[in-house]
Structure 1
């Protein structure tokens, strides 16, 4: 799978964005199929299941994110069984887990699951991809839609922190990045210039980051989770250090000093907001890096162990199997644990001393 653009996001709505940039590179966020929809009332379409999409567009990925940007008109989006979300031109909805969902001209319209032909047309990139246009009614909505993919296993704290659906944008006219994305996307779709497919997929990755920024900025003060940690000046520093220098011999004391907090305050605040102690987070992040190196590279285990802070291949292998549930050699061959992650490996990275 190709990696996302090498872009550093230094400012996340006034917060340090290094941990987010590092995570998006490590979990290999990448744009995928991008297409245009023109809807004529009444219309409704159900999204394909992720299991049917990934093998066609990004067979190496294990998590799918779908999005729909309204470029003209209005419509509704809803996860099956949930309340409909109204959308107008200039707004986007991102389904972070690609749950089965319906896009429609009215909130109560139902849609049949898509056929293989529909999916083949969509993924073939024959644009625009029209829906229910045979009725001859005037166009009620135009959408640019697409998918992003990334690694979810063994540890992607961003995905764990996101709600199933995020709505962003400004129906009255957006002068920010999202508004620019819509203009550029419409232009690329219409003009079909050389390289448009690459431009559109990279634009979708940048659009997703902007949606994340907006979501973080909208979080209430009492919110907890990984993204809330990015908004905390002290915790964002600690997270950035862990992501930037995972092989460092970190202790809670060392992180606290760098984050300008006492050891006790950092440990308590990190655990309360991020959801786990700092050393547990470090252990899990090290294994995420290791899993990516095992999946995409040919380096030997000793080199990978050294790269994430283990003094020996044996210690790394024990920690990896304990946390992930399979040994590194099995992960490299594509074997995944059948019963979820293994036990916490924090004891192998320097257990917190309280």
Structure 2
């Protein structure tokens, strides 16, 4: 079990020990009304729509999407991560990633590839891909530059046909993105009776926007790309996540989810394992076991990781001093904060700020 005394090294300082400018201007990160952890994470990791298009596929069809290393520079800022999803509007097929068996998808499903793996989508097993990896990368470059239409024909011209709404997004992966931590390499999110038609409405609007191609359409499509992804995550949380590991699974666990919500509501608080367990009315043993079982890390490790992600955003977006930022996320000293930040991010807070 983690030593609760160790967590006090990162406890928020008293007002008198904080930097003078911090006492006057800084607000502890996350203070105020109780937070929505999913909204917190999506905002903090700068989830941004990068590309949105329709694929009209005729039988037989197959496409190999290479690992995001091959095209990340086209769709994202340096150092960012790229993930993708595909909404199945019509038809069915198979989806596979290296090292795992193919899965079948059908109309209404959403396939999500969150970890950047290469993947194959095809009408039937053994169908040869129509384009090489180099041609796929060229396609991304030309579509992003506006040199290609946003409705893409593919395949051999036969029936049955399939229609996909394809979205690619960028986000921050460092120093800590809880959404990506322990998330499966491939998600299949199917329609659920427990969800309303919010996702379908977004899909219909996006499809119309792509087909109409009005002025300003690209900007609208990229915002819709983000909204569809968020709504897909919400559907996943409501349906499949309770049985899954990772951060989304932890959100729906009564113990781990309550702990995450408490931490996000006040990350700079003087958290110890005992205090956090008392806050959510459980024992330290149960808290540690349930949290680690979902997240693969203990609750106090999560406190540290989340504080440092909050600090990373402030370093990039604010003009506060490093000492002020350290105080706002719960560190007594700038030196302790800098050591922890460098351990997680691989560079000092100052270096992180300089690279933007």
Give the Å deviation of 1:278: 1.8
Give the Å deviation of 1:301: 0.6
Segments of structure 2 that go 5 or more residues without pairing to the other structure are 1-33
User: Which of 44, 54, 65 is equivalent to 2:72?
Assistant: 54
What does residue 155 of structure 1 align with?
A: 176
Question: Does 1:167 pair with 2:185?
Answer: no
User: Which of 89, 106, 130 is equivalent to 1:71?
Assistant: 89
- Please give the alpha-carbon distance, in whole angstroms, between the structure 1 residues aligned to 2:241 and 2:347: 39
What does residue 21 of structure 1 align with?
A: 39
What does residue 110 of structure 1 align with?
A: 128
Relative to structure 1, the CA distance from residue 308 to residue 80 in structure 2 (aligned partners, 3 Å threshold; closer, same or farther) is: same
Segments of structure 1 that go 5 or more residues without pairing to the other structure are 1-15, 336-354
What does residue 304 of structure 1 align with?
A: 325
- Please give the alpha-carbon distance, in whole angstroms, between the structure 1 residues aligned to 2:242 and 2:54: 38
With normalisation by structure 1, the TM-score equals 0.80
Q: Secondary structure at the residue paired with 2:315?
A: helix
What does residue 213 of structure 2 align with?
A: 192
Give the CA RMSD over aligned residues: 2.9
What does residue 11 of structure 2 align with?
A: none
Cα deviation, 1:34-89, whole Å, max 9, x if unaligned, reads: 11111222222221431232211222452111111122233332224533232233
Give the Å deviation of 1:329: 1.6
Select the structure with the greater relative contact order (CA < 8 A; seq sep ≥ 6).
2
- Please give the alpha-carbon distance, in whole angstroms, between the structure 2 residues aligned to 1:136 and 1:265: 58
What does residue 200 of structure 2 align with?
A: 179
Question: Does 1:204 pair with 2:225?
Answer: yes
Conservation of the 8 A alpha-carbon contact between 1:38 and 1:141: yes
User: Which of 101, 104, 119 is equivalent to 1:83?
Assistant: 101
What does residue 290 of structure 1 align with?
A: 311
What does residue 152 of structure 2 align with?
A: 130
Give the Å deviation of 1:139: 7.1
User: Which of 66, 90, 94 is equivalent to 2:112?
Assistant: 94
User: Which of 163, 170, 181 is equivalent to 1:142?
Assistant: 163
Relative to structure 1, the CA distance from residue 235 to residue 119 in structure 2 (aligned partners, 3 Å threshold; closer, same or farther) is: closer
Greater shift in the superposed pair: 282-291 or 175-184: 175-184
In the alignment of these two chains, the number of paired residues is 319
- Please give the alpha-carbon distance, in whole angstroms, between the structure 2 residues aligned to 1:43 and 1:265: 50
Cα deviation, 1:257-293, whole Å, max 9, x if unaligned, reads: 3212234433443334333222211111111122222
Question: Does 1:229 pair with 2:257?
Answer: no
Relative to structure 1, the CA distance from residue 305 to residue 318 in structure 2 (aligned partners, 3 Å threshold; closer, same or farther) is: same
